[in-house]
Chain A
Amino acid sequence: MSKRPPILQLKSLTKSFGTFNAVDGIDLDIAEGEFFTIVGPSGSGKTTLIRMLAGMEQASSGDIILSGTRINDLPANKRPTCMVFQSLALFPHRTVGENIEFPLKIKGVDPAQRKARALALLDQLRLPQNYYGKSVLRCSGGERQRVALARALAFDPKILFFDEPLSAIDYKLRKTLERELKDIHRETGKTFVYITHSLEEAMVMSDRIGVMCAGNLVQVGTPNEIYSAPKDKFVSEFMGDVNVIPVSMNGSRTITADTFDKTFTVAAIPEAFSKGHLVIRPEFVRFVTEAKEAENVLEGKLYNEYALGSRIQYQVRVGENVFIVEKLRQHSSTLRRDQTVLIGWDAKDSILVTG
């Protein structure tokens, strides 16, 4: 956790539509200069949350505190924050330069200074200077992205909000822009609050991540914490392909699967745990030849295999249950479909979650 003072504090922030709470009492501190990402599936309330923070939705209850001041009742145009929209919302009737200068024009900055600032921002965002007079309609996806960011930076906000701005961009360019955004974050030292449905995207860029589900923040932590110690089934499944088995406590280090007859050994059982889920990441599951090679071993049939670049993922069926196993690609794979295989993992690699 960061020791810097919080720039933004949310206190039981709630947004209700009728009886439905889209955002359900969120408490959160975001530190100055932090890159904080809120990640959640669609409908989890993350867009409503960021729109409240930016001032585009009115909070139903709770507080939004910016640098010690409650800003709930400030409209968006009076808040010293700025948002990069999902659609980017570049003004189609304006040039790149006019778009970037827009907040300066509103503030009444004189034209010469405006232009100098716009050119400096073009430079900072790796856009050529001659783009100043170009129509935004003629810019490519990546360029438009940078113009939108430049326009937000021209406003010189205390906090920059991002509402999934990369969601419509193809994979390869998205990867580049993610890194660029993190570089810009480093260069400007500003606080970034980012929203996405992709945990992968969140992992790449963020200092801290908040996982959101049904209007609540389920877990907040560094990317590493979220990855290695997911708090519940939802978070662990949201992380990507994992093996999740509903289990109940059996002994001091043993648990029993609820849906089939098998007992597993784990490193430790958390206090107050009686029922929950056993989570094992596919990269920790391996093929074994003998039962004694791993602490937990299951026998199953290989159903299919999927190439994932440097790794290969296998689907193994154990009775009614499906397990996934990942291993690094090797030149000679001896595994065949419908072959009977033994899979296993060690107690230290299993995670127990209550939810």
Chain B
Amino acid sequence: MAAPHETGKGLSQGARNALPLILFMIIGFAAPLLAVIAYSFMPPRSFGLTHAPTLDNYADIFTSNSYISFGWSMLFAALTVALLALICYPIAYGMARLFGRWSPILTLLFTIPLFVSENVRLYGWILFLIKNGVLLGTLKSWFGIEPESILFTPGVVLLGMVYVYLPFMLFPMTLGVSMVPNETREAARDLGASRWQVFREVELPLSMPGIMIGLLLTFVLAVGAIAEAKVLGGQTIIPITHDIEIAFTYAQNWPLGAALAVLLMIVVGTLVMLVLKRFDLDAILGKR
């Protein structure tokens, strides 16, 4: 609303508008995370928060083989991010520079899958890859060959993750690439840079904010991935989120699950803070 007088009294115009959101985030985000942290210090298999705090759960984790799950989650998230960067960059470049009037409709087509729950989309891959499914069924009836299904292998889990998180890499990346003013590319070309030099010296550094956000977002989402391994992976891979879920459900050991979640939060939180600190959001989101 119009600010006729910015008086010094009470909250500023901005703070007043931010207030509902901040209050909601305190009870909906900060409080639950604090609850998790509190639970992680409760004795194993307890359900209340009234016990004396203990470090048993953390000790349990470091003596158990949870680190394997942690490793799987990190490895798969890193691989997903690397693959997505390679897959998405040409598309982002096309969206920002080449596709012109087609890019809104292409954007739309890349957006639609975002709104379908990931398990449904992953289920489609099962139907495609399963024995007698779309791929193998076609091969069998047309060529008479019957290769083994690749379903329930680590490779398919990776495929599923790349597939599910593709839009999360693509959109920030497109935003980043479109932040590069065309004149700077032309100027670099004009000053004698090769195509590769233009890319390295101008294109990449200038589109970095968007790319970094894409990398960060996909990494964080992939570390927290749960459906891919369950739906596509059978039991070949146990990600950390699965361990956490098991602790909360079948094992009924909430404090252990909370401790695992805290460790994951520390990794993710550090990463997010490190990256977000470096960026001016106004510049990325297009403040004039």
Q: Are A and B bound to each other?
A: yes
Set of chain A residues within 8 Å of B6, measured between Cβ atoms: 57-58
Count residues on chain B whose CB falls below 8 Å from chain A CBs.
6
Can you name the residue of chain A whose Cβ is closest to the Cβ of B6? A58
| Distance to closest chain B CB from A192 (angstroms) | 22
B65 within 8 A of A: no
| Distance to closest chain A CB from B84 (angstroms) | 38
Set of chain B residues within 8 Å of A77, measured between Cβ atoms: 4
- Mark interface residues in A65-76 (1 if CB within 8 Å of B CB, else 0): 000000000011
Can you name the residue of chain B whose Cβ is closest to the Cβ of A73? B5
Can you name the residue of chain A whose Cβ is closest to the Cβ of B2? A76
A246 within 8 A of B: no
| Distance to closest chain B CB from A20 (angstroms) | 16
State in angstroms the CA–CA spacing of A58 and B7 once bound together: 8
Near A by CB (< 8 A), chain B positions 125-174 give none
Near B by CB (< 8 A), chain A positions 23-69 give 55-58
The majority secondary structure among interface residues of chain B is loop
| Distance to closest chain B CB from A111 (angstroms) | 25
| Distance to closest chain A CB from B277 (angstroms) | 27
State in angstroms the CA–CA spacing of A315 and B4 once bound together: 50
| Distance to closest chain A CB from B10 (angstroms) | 15
Set of chain A residues within 8 Å of B7, measured between Cβ atoms: 58
Set of chain A residues within 8 Å of B5, measured between Cβ atoms: 57-58, 75
State in angstroms the CA–CA spacing of A56 and B3 once bound together: 7
Set of chain B residues within 8 Å of A76, measured between Cβ atoms: 2, 4
The majority secondary structure among interface residues of chain A is loop
Can you name the residue of chain B whose Cβ is closest to the Cβ of A55? B4
State in angstroms the CA–CA spacing of A55 and B7 once bound together: 13
Near A by CB (< 8 A), chain B positions 1-54 give 2-7
Q: How large is the interface on A (under 10, 10 to 19, 20 to 34, 35 or more residues)?
A: under 10
Residue of B2, B3, B4, B6 contacting most chain A CB atoms (<10 Å): B4
Set of chain B residues within 8 Å of A75, measured between Cβ atoms: 4-5
Set of chain A residues within 8 Å of B3, measured between Cβ atoms: 56
Set of chain B residues within 8 Å of A55, measured between Cβ atoms: 4
Set of chain A residues within 8 Å of B4, measured between Cβ atoms: 55-56, 58, 75-77
State in angstroms the CA–CA spacing of A55 and B3 once bound together: 10
| Distance to closest chain B CB from A22 (angstroms) | 13
| Distance to closest chain B CB from A282 (angstroms) | 37
| Distance to closest chain A CB from B111 (angstroms) | 25
| Distance to closest chain B CB from A86 (angstroms) | 13
State in angstroms the CA–CA spacing of A76 and B4 once bound together: 7
Set of chain B residues within 8 Å of A57, measured between Cβ atoms: 5-6
| Distance to closest chain A CB from B58 (angstroms) | 49
| Distance to closest chain B CB from A16 (angstroms) | 12
State in angstroms the CA–CA spacing of A77 and B5 once bound together: 12
State in angstroms the CA–CA spacing of A76 and B2 once bound together: 10
| Distance to closest chain A CB from B98 (angstroms) | 27
- Mark interface residues in A185-201 (1 if CB within 8 Å of B CB, else 0): 00000000000000000
Can you name the residue of chain B whose Cβ is closest to the Cβ of A78? B4
| Distance to closest chain B CB from A19 (angstroms) | 15
Near A by CB (< 8 A), chain B positions 157-214 give none
State in angstroms the CA–CA spacing of A179 and B120 once bound together: 67
Set of chain B residues within 8 Å of A58, measured between Cβ atoms: 4-7
Can you name the residue of chain B whose Cβ is closest to the Cβ of A56? B4
| Distance to closest chain A CB from B4 (angstroms) | 4
Can you name the residue of chain A whose Cβ is closest to the Cβ of B7? A58
Residue of B2, B5, B6, B7 contacting most chain A CB atoms (<10 Å): B5
Set of chain B residues within 8 Å of A56, measured between Cβ atoms: 3-4
**Residues of B participating in the A interface, judged by any CB pair closer than 8 Å:** 2-7
6 A-B pairs closest in CB distance: A58-B5, A75-B4, A76-B4, A55-B4, A56-B4, A75-B5
Q: Name 14 A/B residue pairs within 8 A (Cβ), A-sorted.
A: A55-B4, A56-B3, A56-B4, A57-B5, A57-B6, A58-B4, A58-B5, A58-B6, A58-B7, A75-B4, A75-B5, A76-B2, A76-B4, A77-B4
Known: A56-B3, A58-B6. 12 other contacts (CB 8 A): A55-B4, A56-B4, A57-B5, A57-B6, A58-B4, A58-B5, A58-B7, A75-B4, A75-B5, A76-B2, A76-B4, A77-B4
